[in-house]
Amino acid sequence: MFCKGSILVAAKRFHGLATVAQGTATRLLCGELAICLVRCDDGRFFAVSDACTHEDDASLSDGWVSGCQIECARHNSIFDLQTGAALSIPAIEPVKTYRTAVDGDDILIEIPNPPGS
């Protein structure tokens, strides 16, 4: 179990990111793993793989946030940030999601088996 209250125990901490603007996406690196951290318009945080499932060299953090969805900047597939589901083609496969928590000004992201661990 990773959750203790609202804090993820086995998580990577990213300092100061709880203050990023709403409606934005930020690319984070955890070793070789690229993560797209999104702060939705309503202030909630979501983390997904930063590789589009249509073409994995496309960074979702280059895309556009609307509600709790992100649109890939390359071919405009839309992903649900809560489930990772691809909501429009050309992407079909879901994007991997990661649990997040806010701890003060920091963001915690649960990365079960980070590369290099």
Contacting residues toward ligand FES, per CB under 6 A: 52, 54-55, 58, 72, 74-75, 77, 90-91
Report the nearest approach of ligand FES to the CB of residue 76 (Å). 6
Output 91 or 109, the one with its CB closest to ligand FES: 91
Output 49 or 100, the one with its CB closest to ligand FES: 49
Instruction: Let me know: does 96 contact 84? Beta carbons within 8 Å.
Output: yes
Provide CB contacts within 8 A for 86, sequence distance 6+: 53, 77, 78, 79, 92, 93, 94, 95
CA 81, chain centre distance (Å): 7
Output 18 or 81, the one with its CB closest to ligand FES: 81
Report the nearest approach of ligand FES to the CB of residue 9 (Å). 33
Report the nearest approach of ligand FES to the CB of residue 107 (Å). 24
Report the nearest approach of ligand FES to the CB of residue 95 (Å). 10
Tokens of 106: 């920091």
Output 62 or 103, the one with its CB closest to ligand FES: 62
Instruction: Count CA within 13 A, CB hemisphere, residue 11.
Output: 23
Coil/strand/helix, residue 77: coil
